[in-house]
Amino acid sequence: MKNQLVRFDWALKKLLRNKANFEILEGFLSELLKLDVKIEKILESESNREAGDDKHNRVDLLTEIGSCELVLIELQVEGQFDYFHRMLYGSSKLITDYMAAGFAYKEVKKVISVNIVYFDLGQGEDYVYRGITEFTGIHKHDLLHLSEFQKSKLPELQNISTIFPEYYILKVNEFNDYAKDTLDEWIYFLKNSEIKDEFKAKGIHKASEELDILKLSKEERREYERYIDDWRVGESSIQTSWMKGHDKGREEGREEGREEGREEGRLEVARRLIESGMSAEEAAEVAGVDVELLRGRL
């Protein structure tokens, strides 16, 4: 029997901020970024403080990795039509928040925005997307690179895109549960709260050990159960609202169709009255239709 693991969103809130569990986050980020990630510390920001109205909908965690880059992990359950805008806002705010007064522009910290979403964001066939900023010539279609002078002054930079925020989107619900590589093993866990024995991704077996519900203290387990109850209530509310809206729309559609049918019937009566010798005005009055609409259908 496989261990029952806590949901990743609750782990982000409670367990993964503990230095003893940095190995779990390091493993996840290493597989995603294709780097050997070392977490220096968990940072506090305005965006990752808990609020009373987002018990299950949104979770944030901000960390600094070994290369002094800021990594913001955001997990969103409910759909949000302007989520792309929020991604931009979050990364931009981090840049300004961590830009000390008087520092040169070259001291701007690199931001990596990791977005784990459990709703259909955008339109695309993949379930993992990466976004970077590059500059392409509109005439010669060449890629703009750093000059030799810039390279001499900024030796840590490989290319221009490394200066700008880098975005990752993991559309968890689009994953088909078939793990083709080690990153997929992490996404499988994000979707199913389960880790298979044969998984080999970095940090994933540490997650299997530390995120086991049976290892939680009594207080942690009660807190987790309350969190799951809140999550279920929230999910039920979302589904109920959707179903009510769907049913209302369907009924309104049926009523609209019936009204259209009745109107077509009245127009047909008016047309026949005209054929029998009545004027359009007389036929419209008898049939109860708008005379201009009737003329448009003749």
Q: How confident is the model at residue 290 (pLDDT cuts 50, 70, 90)?
A: confident
Q: How far is the C-alpha of 61 from the C-alpha of 74, rounded, in Å?
A: 7
Could you state, in order of their start, the residue ranges of all structural domains in the chain? 8-215, 236-297
For the cut 90, the answer to whether the pLDDT of residue 200 exceeds it is: yes
As a whole number, mean pLDDT of residues 1-15 equals 79
pTM of the prediction?
A: 0.73
Q: How far is the C-alpha of 198 from the C-alpha of 205, rounded, in Å?
A: 10
In tens, the pLDDT along 26-83 reads: 999 999 999 999 988 888 755 444 444 444 566 788 988 877 789 999 998 888 889 9
Share of the chain above pLDDT 90, in %: 37
In tens, the pLDDT along 90-127 reads: 999 998 888 776 678 888 889 999 999 988 898 999 99
